[in-house]
Chain A
Amino acid sequence: MSVHAKTAEKMTGDSMMKTQGSKLEFNLKKIREEFPALHQKVHGKPLVYLDNAASTQKPRAVIEKLHHYYTWDNANIHRGVHTLSQRATDEYEAAREKVRAFIHAQKTSEVIFTRGTTESINLVAQTYGRQNIKAGDEIIISHMEHHSNIVPWQMLVEQIGAQLKVVPVTDAGELDLEAYQNMLSEKTKLVAMVHVSNSLGTINPMKKIIDVAHQAGVPVLVDGAQSVNHLEINVQELDADFFVFSGHKLFAPTGIGVLYGKESLLENMPPYQGGGDMIRQVSFEKTTYNDLPYKFEAGTPHIAGAIGLGAAIDYVQELGMSQLASYEKEVLDYATKALSALPGLKVIGQAKEKTSVLSFVLQDIHPHDIGTILDNEGVAVRAGHHCTMPLMQRFGVPATVRASFAFYNSFEEVDALLEAIKKVQEVFKG
Chain B
Amino acid sequence: MSELRELYQEVILDHNKHPRNFHEMPGADRQAEGFNPLCGDQLTVYLKLGADQKIEDLSFVGSGCAISKASASLMTDALKGKSFSEAKAIFEKFHSMVTASPGLEAPDGLGKLAVLAGVCEFPARVKCASLAWHTLNSALDGSSEAVTTE
Residues of A within 8 A of B (CB): 365-369, 372-373, 376, 383-385, 389, 392, 398-399, 427-428, 430
- Within the assembled complex, what's the spacing in Å between the Cα atoms of A376 and B3? 9
Interface string of B1-42 (1 = CB under 8 A from A): 101110110000100000000000000000000000011111
Min CB distance A405 to B, Å, is 23
**Is B75 an interface residue when CB atoms closer than 8 A count as contact?**
no
- Among B3, B42, B65, residue most surrounded by chain A Cβ atoms (within 10 Å): B65
A372 with B122, Cβ < 8 A, contacts A385-B39, A398-B63 known: yes
- Within the assembled complex, what's the spacing in Å between the Cα atoms of A385 and B42? 13
Contact between B8 and A366, CB atoms less than 8 A apart: no
A389 with B40, Cβ < 8 A, contacts A368-B125, A372-B7, A372-B122 known: yes
5 contacts across the A-B interface (CB closer than 8 A): A368-B128, A369-B65, A384-B40, A427-B4, A427-B5
Nearest chain-B residue to A376 (Cβ)?
B4
- Sorted nearest first, the 5 A-B pairs with minimum C-beta distance are A366-B65, A368-B65, A398-B40, A385-B40, A369-B66
**Is B64 an interface residue when CB atoms closer than 8 A count as contact?**
yes
Which bracket fits the contact residues of B? 20 to 34
Contact between B8 and A428, CB atoms less than 8 A apart: yes
- Within the assembled complex, what's the spacing in Å between the Cα atoms of A366 and B128? 12
Interface string of B39-68 (1 = CB under 8 A from A): 111100000000000000000000111110
Query: Which residues of the other chain, A, contact B39 by a CB distance below 8 angstroms?
Result: 367-368, 383-385, 398-399
Contact between A376 and B1, CB atoms less than 8 A apart: yes
Query: Which residues of the other chain, A, contact B4 by a CB distance below 8 angstroms?
Result: 372-373, 376, 427
- Within the assembled complex, what's the spacing in Å between the Cα atoms of A372 and B1? 11
Min CB distance A370 to B, Å, is 9
Contact between A369 and B40, CB atoms less than 8 A apart: no
Contact between B3 and A430, CB atoms less than 8 A apart: no
**Is B124 an interface residue when CB atoms closer than 8 A count as contact?**
yes
